[in-house]
Homo-oligomer: A and B are copies of this chain.
Amino acid sequence: MYPEFIPVKEAFKIIENIKTEPKKERITLEKANSRVLTEDITVLVDVPAFDRAAMDGYAIRAEDISKASETEPVHLKVVYEIGAGSVYPSTLKKGEAVRIATGAPMPQGSDAVVMHEHMKLSGDVIEIDTPLNAKKDVALQGEDLKKGETILKKGQFLGPHHVALIASSGHKTVEVIKKPEVAVITTGSELVEPSKNLKPGKSINSNKYALKGLVEEAMAVPHLTSCPDNMETLLGKLEYAAENYDAIITTGGTAISRGDLVVDAVNTLGEVLIHGVSTKPGKPVGFGVINRKPVFMVSGYPVAAAVQYDSFVRSYILRMQNIHKKFQLTECTAGKDIKSSKKKQNVIRANFNEDEGVVYPLKTKAGINKSIVLSNCYIIVEEGVGNIKKGEKCKIIKYSSLKVC
């Protein structure tokens, strides 16, 4: 028999109490996308590192053309040409100009850029008929990033543009949270690899494929193994996983059958803190600790396993990376009567029509695994609420909101 079922909120608390210290690693910037910073990033070099041309044109001294007009244009002598990456080896003198490309360093002595559109070139002389402010079309040293400035804080989730910013700041490597390594042990003597010729009594192990993808999407590294319903083998695999990885997910073997060994095995090696939560589906979910590693015991039934993973596991794996994601509940209208038991939390696969703001529960059974891909949200009916009538308000979690990105 199950031990006492506990309410979902109590289960959350017990699970949250098991803390794991994120590990850190230093990696090259090439690998830093979608990782989480464990250090503040301080700028090592001014960006730009020097005053540079913000436009293609001619670097000049603004004072040289301060009196330029259509009637009295100013003529400057072009003495050099610099492209991006090179520098003017001298100092710009009165009456001189240097042809300059966007991004190239402003010659010493120059302080403005005249765009091609605003001058005339003949031979090596340019004619200018309008004054320019000093600093016109010049990107000033440090105007983007100032040396010593902190530009990103510990805990920042890095996207491509954050990584580019860290590169700009002069860093080649970055310290981030090490991806949690998560053991996935799918249990059940009936489980086999995909085949069109199944032996009697055998079933294809599909949970393995679902959990591999789910763990990867939570930015962790899955380590997969399957295990027959044999206590010694299971103890061996659990022990190995608890020694080598940061968290363990098992599937199957959490109910009360004689073959259901997982809960007993976890109790042998560590401690079972939860077995049975007031939620439907997913009631026989278990949670324990071996060697201070969290062990999530989810059902063998794929639908129950998916709900249990979405309810308890994903957020934990993310928290191991200091990513704190709250479930986003959306309020909408029931498009059909929703059957729900008052005694527990009900998690009902459904389809939400965004335009109508209406949700339609799926008519399905616990064993219909394809229902997961035929739905786009869960209706969450909390303990104590019971049935909801067509037209009444209800709350959903969109599958798309569960993802990190």
Selecting from A204-212, A239-247, A289-297, A330-338, the interface stretch reads A204-212
A171 interface residue, CB < 8 Å from B? yes
A114 interface residue, CB < 8 Å from B? no
Assess whether A87 is in contact with B200, with CB atoms less than 8 Å apart. Answer: yes
Interface size class of A (residues with CB under 8 A): 35 or more
Q: With A and B bound together, what is the CA distance between A212 and B370 in angstroms?
A: 36
- Asked if A171 meets B194 with Cβ closer than 8 Å, knowing A165-B373, A188-B103, the reply is yes
How far is the CB of A328 from the nearest CB of chain B, in Å? 11
How far is the CB of A276 from the nearest CB of chain B, in Å? 14
Closest B residue by C-beta to A168: B206
Chain A 72-88: CB-based contact to B (< 8 A → 1; otherwise 0): 00000000010111110
Assess whether A200 is in contact with B50, with CB atoms less than 8 Å apart. Answer: yes
- Asked if A190 meets B85 with Cβ closer than 8 Å, knowing A195-B172, A201-B105, A373-B161, the reply is yes
Assess whether A102 is in contact with B300, with CB atoms less than 8 Å apart. Answer: yes
Q: With A and B bound together, what is the CA distance between A116 and B2 in angstroms?
A: 12
Partner of A170, one of B194, B256, B258: B194
Assess whether A165 is in contact with B87, with CB atoms less than 8 Å apart. Answer: no
B-chain residues with CB within 8 Å of residue A302 when the two chains form the complex: 161, 164, 168
Partner of A172, one of B99, B159, B193: B193
B-chain residues with CB within 8 Å of residue A101 when the two chains form the complex: 257-260
Partner of A373, one of B54, B162, B229: B162
- Asked if A84 meets B188 with Cβ closer than 8 Å, knowing A160-B212, A194-B167, A372-B161, the reply is yes
Q: With A and B bound together, what is the CA distance between A170 and B167 in angstroms?
A: 47
**Stoichiometry, copies per complex:** 2
Chain A 172-191: CB-based contact to B (< 8 A → 1; otherwise 0): 10000000000000001111
Chain A 388-405: CB-based contact to B (< 8 A → 1; otherwise 0): 000000000000100101
B-chain residues with CB within 8 Å of residue A204 when the two chains form the complex: 45, 47, 167-168, 170
How far is the CB of A67 from the nearest CB of chain B, in Å? 28
Closest B residue by C-beta to A214: B160
Assess whether A367 is in contact with B54, with CB atoms less than 8 Å apart. Answer: yes
A112 interface residue, CB < 8 Å from B? no
A144 interface residue, CB < 8 Å from B? yes
Closest B residue by C-beta to A82: B201
Assess whether B159 is in contact with A213, with CB atoms less than 8 Å apart. Answer: yes
Would you list 7 pairs from A and B whose C-beta atoms are within 8 A, ordered by A residue? A50-B200, A143-B365, A143-B368, A145-B369, A160-B211, A160-B213, A167-B206
- Shortest Cβ-Cβ A-B pairs, 3 listed: A160-B213, A85-B189, A85-B190
Q: With A139-B367, A164-B369 given, can you name 13 additional A-B contacts, CB distance below 8 Å?
A: A83-B229, A85-B228, A86-B189, A102-B255, A103-B188, A104-B190, A139-B365, A152-B373, A161-B210, A161-B213, A161-B302, A163-B212, A167-B205
